[in-house]
Amino acid sequence: MKLMFKPEAGEFNPYYGAYLELVNEDDIREAFAAQPSEMRAALAGLAEDRGSYAYEEGKWTIKEVLSHIIDAERIFAYRMLRISRGDETPLATFDQESVGYREFSRANERTFADLLEEFELVRQGNSLMLNNMDQTALNRMGTASDNPVSVRALACICVGHVRHHLNVLKERYLG
């Protein structure tokens, strides 16, 4: 079934516009499913001790970036689930900097293999959820971080968010 994923203005907080600009597909399901392999390919052969590298003082390490991607994936998917099911409860803000997501993640104590497997498994579950939504569910609107958001915008944000961080990894960490 042909589904439309491209959100329109008013379906997302403009903050996420930079992520959405990285998503050109009308149907993102293939891109959604392919990203764990893309992540593995980008980090293939990287020595474990390289995971604690940050390109600048105070910036996230490579492993912290991966942990952040996983955390954001879970939060965006939670929002997709709640809103797609018609839950109209406003959903809280996700502030990865001030709450302690980085500090408490223990990302630098983990292996690349472990982090990549977690991302892959989380994304597989989210792909199954997404693949079983119809256009009505994808178009459903809710509120997150005090802004209106559609399920399809959240799905595209997931793809754009990973693409953004893959670009940063390639440009500033792996280049």
Residues 151 and 138: beta-carbon distance below 8 Å: yes
Cα gap 160→113, rounded to integer Å: 23
* pTM to 2 decimal places: 0.96
Amino acid 56 reads E
Q: Which of 34, 33, 38 lies closest to 128 in space, CA to CA? A: 33
Instruction: Enumerate residues 6+ apart whose C-beta is below 8 A from 145.
Output: 13, 91, 92, 93, 94
End-to-end CA distance of the chain: 40
Instruction: Enumerate residues 6+ apart whose C-beta is below 8 A from 75.
Output: 94
When pLDDT is averaged across residues 4-30 and rounded to a whole number, the result is 95
Q: Give the homologous superfamily in CATH for domain 16-173.
A: dinb family like domain (1.20.120.450)
pLDDT digits (tens, 9 = 90+) for 85-107: 999 999 999 887 766 788 899 99
Query: In the chain, what is the greatest distance between 2 CA atoms, to the nearest angstrom?
Result: 48
pLDDT, residue 101, reads: 87
Amino acid 1 reads M
